[in-house]
Structure 1
Amino acid sequence: MKHEENDLGIDRMIEQSTTSEVPPDVEASLRTQLADFRTRIEQSRPGRIESIVAGIRQSLGQYRNGIIGLAGAAAVVAVAVLFLNPGGSGEVYAAAAHRLQQARTLSYSIVLNSNPYVAVDFTHQAPGFQRLKCSWGMEIRADAVAGKTLILFHYSKQYIFGTEAEAKQLVRSADEAFEQFRSLPERADEELGEKSEDGKTFVGFRVRDNDGITDIWVDRASGQPDHVDITILASGKQVHQMKIDNIRLGEQVEIDGMDLEPPTDYNLVSETADQSGPARGGEQQLPPIVARIRTDPEKTVIVLGMSGPHEQHLEAIARVEAELKRLGVKPLGEPFGQYYNAASDPLPIWEVGFPVPAGVTAQAPFEVRHIPETLVAEADIVGPWGGDSSRRWGAFLRSVLEQGYAPAGPAQESWLGAEGTGAEQRTQMKVAVTKAQ
């Protein structure tokens, strides 16, 4: 009971203190309790408290200007109790961190700022395999041991092979990211308690560093890390939220798609994207497609999310037009479509929308978004809308890659002209890009 009373005493000091400085007698009392705490811990687990006590001493020296210092020191005490108490919640975190540190195979998904168009599925397997599946239809497989890279474009069912140097660079970058998981501290900075989702109970732990906050949620039943919420903080810059989900790990597990062979129904980009004669099956030759790289200014758009066959385009656009008419808003440009997976997927996910004036509001199922200034690649195709979309996008993406850029967002098309005008119609292809490393 004495130990519990001492811990409560720290809490009372924090609650009752309202001065701008820590009174000397309070600091002395806290030092006494910390010394008593150290003695208790060292008797049960010798040597394991040294670094924590050093941190407490440093904080006491630095935090004489406010109650924050006492709160920080008390938090360190609470964390030390949590992670040094046999059988406590700290061992749940320690076990989860150990699993991450020892894993040879790790697979997870990342969504940045809750935007599905920057979602990426990662799979890493030692000694040197890395796979990235991007929500905008591109997949990269790299094997540093074999020195091979395979890049798949799922929208157009095409592929290209990378170089041995690219394979090693991709896997080296993946190794660095993987090492961040392996370098998790053995003790968290804070326990977040429990939460229930989808019939599971998770225990949360928080780790802080100079770049932000990492919240790790562990499945109480299995002890496996389930998902991680990361807040990225940089002085003077926008706060970013990143979610790591669908974590799967093990010593050496079997994962689909680990080979470096393209699907049999995919074609090599160099064979299909630049054709000088008639296309296969009597199809017409594609006109030359050269991507333009430019900066798209910031804008506001209204969109309607859709799923299922793309044949719903006209109906979906009509619904957005009706909503704009109801709101009394005149669109600032032509309609567009944005595609988060391939039309051939079991459930295509896409949306249609219009650029609109800033300040427009909408109700579900419509959504208004502010799109920041973005580096994009674009190209215009003159002629009837639709056409050979796969071949067009294959040629377009090849041009993007040849100019030293890589896709960094979903495929987008805008349609200019009027329905049924044929040759007067024009399709603009666009995709966010980043400079290839």
Structure 2
Amino acid sequence: MSKNLLTKLQYSAPPESQLIERANYEVIREIQSLGLRRLVKHCWEHVPFYRNRWEKIGLHPDDIRGIEDIGKLPVTNKSEIEKDLKENPPFGTFQGDLPACRIQSSTGTTGMPKPFFQSKHDWDVIGNLWARRLNAQGVTAGDRVQVSLTYALFIPGFTSTEGIMKLGAMVVPVGSGAVTNTERQITLARDWGATCWVMTPSFALHLADVAEKMGYDLKKDFQVKRLIHTGEPLPPAMRERIEERWGLPAYDNWGSVETGAPTFECELKNGVHINEDAYYFEVIDPETGDRLPDGKEGLLTVTTLYKESAPLVRYNIGDFTTIIPEPCSCGRTFRRMASVRSRVDDMVKVRGSAIYPQSVEPVVRKYKELGSEYRLVVDYVNNRDIIKLQAEIVQDCSVDELQEKILNDVNKVLGVKCNGVELLPFGTLAQEASAAGRIKFRRLLDLRKK
């Protein structure tokens, strides 16, 4: 396959994208080099945020000749984007000066929502990349895909819909549970014969809880063949719980509003493939900022080679992960990224120790008496930090005995002593999230005065 043809197939949707997904890796590197030179030139001419930073360190676009020079470019941190927004309201200078067709923003779970512009070109590419995701996970033109993601500033509801339509499949855009209540979504999926369901992982478990309360058999009463997830991490324990309850494969897709649709899991489910014609992923040392070799865990930085509006150049996304060095046996040559272990933004200090809410996920998923929702609550009482786990009960049980078992398990994984386990009636935490209008469920509530 010639390099010229593959270059023309850059950012394409299936079936054409299948050629570039399996291209010789040296050709992929050449395509990335071309993309990086184009991106740096674009940022120099149209994005003051980057030009100003690069001029201060004496960097010129001519210094970047290929992807091997990407380390000459400084890492961009979220704090710098936030500073730019504050100093140049309302949108900052990192968006660039080209016309944009829409604004999407972060959900604001770790701070104020940050707006990111999308040009028409950007939006078309993200739709193509979503089509790659769905195609790799078995979606075809004959599928009826129910999308239970919010259609608002949160990006994947819209972009997954674009990808579904590019494959020729039918979209059932029910939106989040705040728009179409959970019971209604379950009824529609059954009555309208959805064959694929797109949602966050936590909502998949919540749907399972509610469907069973409604008297449905998850493995017999629906035509759904696969569950496709994005918007939240999908840790192994959570995936196992989802697949066990639904009796279906659950696929992971890592991304964010800043990046678009950079990765997808193939049918083997052994790490997410990176759309390397459109992105360049690096892992850096969190202390020194030095680039780490594949196989070493560190902080993920992302460069969006295709973006016109709000491009990212070595953007520290704040996720701890690893680039998998071995090739995938599915035949794709795109490198893979391991599941995100934790996020810098999710970390909280309790009694001097770093605590990550995801650490208790395996404990919660271990107990069938518990529902899908949980959170850690941190407070400051009587001059000391206290931390407790809140979870919901879905089955009758001896509460005191269950609390003791869970507390023992939590203390083995948390890193500090947990002060208690509070078991709540089913629906308590989900109702609170819905009333607050939240898109993602927050696994940490810090009540301490800042």
TM category, shorter:
under 0.3
- TM-score relative to the length of structure 2: 0.27
Higher share in strand: 1
* TM-score, with length taken from structure 1: 0.28
